[in-house]
Amino acid sequence: MTTYPTDRHGLIHRSAALAAGFGDTEITRAVTRRELVRVARGVFVVPADRTPEELHRLSAIATGTSTDTVLSHQSAATVHGLEMLRPNLRRVHLTTGTLSGGRRSSVRHEHVGVLGESDIVTVGGIRVTSLERTAVDVARTTTMGFAGALAVFDSALRLGADRGVMEAMMASSARGIGQARRALRHADGESENPGESWSRAQMIEAGLLTPRLQHEFSDRTGNVIARTDFDWAGLLVGEFDGMAKYQKHLRPGETPFDAMRREKEREDALRGLGIMVLRWTWRDLERGLVVPMIRDWLVRLRLTAA
């Protein structure tokens, strides 16, 4: 495998590659063969197994090192490690710091807006909007509506964002601010991923009984047997099953199948305590199947009226 010179972010700059003896034709061929991926003009990375969010983060960093503007919105979110619900990562987003001069191209979106000192932080040498400012901006502009806003606020709280600071940032009439305010009222850092956030958003919008999050259940001898995504009165448990969940909780030497089998054993232990366990996936959320399933069991268990 060809080894190219990289900077501290893992970016391969054309100028550095040329200085190391690589030619433009060689670089072009590497891009054609997908041995390299262009993330900005004259900047490349080795694709490896990078997620779309990781590729966008590198593209944002490559852009951010060559501009006086500040990375913001979805781009700043990828730098902070904020998890989002189906973000649009087509363009790198920046904020100008002024009330005019915004523009948009096929790969770049410059937003107008004045930023205070507290709105800007430096991450890895790159200027980005603060964690709180980023979460608010994404929540206002997400194409996934209330669910998208809830997901980014849940993630921000998981990363230690200050709820009060975010509330203060929304004392305006900016576009999308109502959606963001509503989502922040319901945001909870105990929600562990965007799939769980989307699940909760659907429950909230349907007016379902509010579930408890991440509760630990013990067996009759006091040993903890499960920590569940959602539960209602200790009688009904709800679990969102995204493959990323299994990947995240793999033990040394385990495969995703091993983790799924462990989950099945955990579910059997809960059923042994007389607890009903419901599971759903991304596809169930997309098809609107989750709310009717939960509502049916809440009625059956007499936790809510029909």
**Domain co-membership, 236 together with 268:** yes
**Domain co-membership, 216 together with 234:** yes
**Domain co-membership, 133 together with 15:** no
Judge whether 199 lies within some domain.
no
Last residue of a domain, one of 137, 163, 189: 189
Task: List Cβ neighbours of 150 (8 Å cut-off, separation of 6 or more).
Answer: 183, 186, 187, 197, 198, 200, 201, 204
**Domain co-membership, 154 together with 241:** no
**Domain co-membership, 114 together with 132:** yes
Judge whether 127 lies within some domain.
yes
- In terms of C-beta density within 10 A (0-12 exposed, 13-18 middle, 19 or more buried), how is residue 105 classed? exposed
Residues of the chain with pLDDT under 50: none
- The per-residue pLDDT for range 115-174, each reduced to its tens digit, is 999 999 999 899 999 999 999 999 999 999 999 999 999 999 999 999 999 999 998 878
Judge whether 103 lies within some domain.
yes
Task: List Cβ neighbours of 272 (8 Å cut-off, separation of 6 or more).
Answer: 219
Last residue of a domain, one of 143, 164, 189: 189
**Domain co-membership, 42 together with 115:** no
| Lookup: tokens for 117 | 């000192």
**Domain co-membership, 178 together with 272:** no
Judge whether 237 lies within some domain.
yes
The conformation of residue 12, written as its DSSP 8-state character, comes to: E
Judge whether 198 lies within some domain.
no
Separation between Cα atoms, residue 35 and residue 15, nearest integer Å: 18
**Domain co-membership, 107 together with 155:** yes
Handedness of CA 174, 180, 182, 184 (dihedral sign): negative
What pLDDT sits at residue 248? Answer: 60
CB 294: neighbour CB atoms within 10 A?
Answer: 24
- φ, ψ for residue 218 (rounded to 5)? -115, 155
What pLDDT sits at residue 246? Answer: 56
Write out the residue range of the structural domain in which residue 137 sits.
56-189
**Domain co-membership, 92 together with 177:** yes
| Lookup: tokens for 280 | 């759903």
**Domain co-membership, 161 together with 241:** no
Separation between Cα atoms, residue 28 and residue 36, nearest integer Å: 9
Judge whether 218 lies within some domain.
yes
Count how many domains the chain has: 3
- For residue 15, give the nearest of 70, 51, 65, 55 by alpha carbon: 65
What pLDDT sits at residue 166? Answer: 97
What pLDDT sits at residue 244? Answer: 56
The pTM of this model reads 0.92
- The per-residue pLDDT for range 71-96, each reduced to its tens digit, is 999 999 999 999 999 999 999 999 98
Task: List Cβ neighbours of 151 (8 Å cut-off, separation of 6 or more).
Answer: 83, 84, 85, 144, 194, 197, 198, 201
Separation between Cα atoms, residue 293 and residue 306, nearest integer Å: 13
Judge whether 35 lies within some domain.
yes
**Domain co-membership, 68 together with 149:** yes
Last residue of a domain, one of 138, 159, 189: 189
**Domain co-membership, 61 together with 32:** no
Judge whether 194 lies within some domain.
no
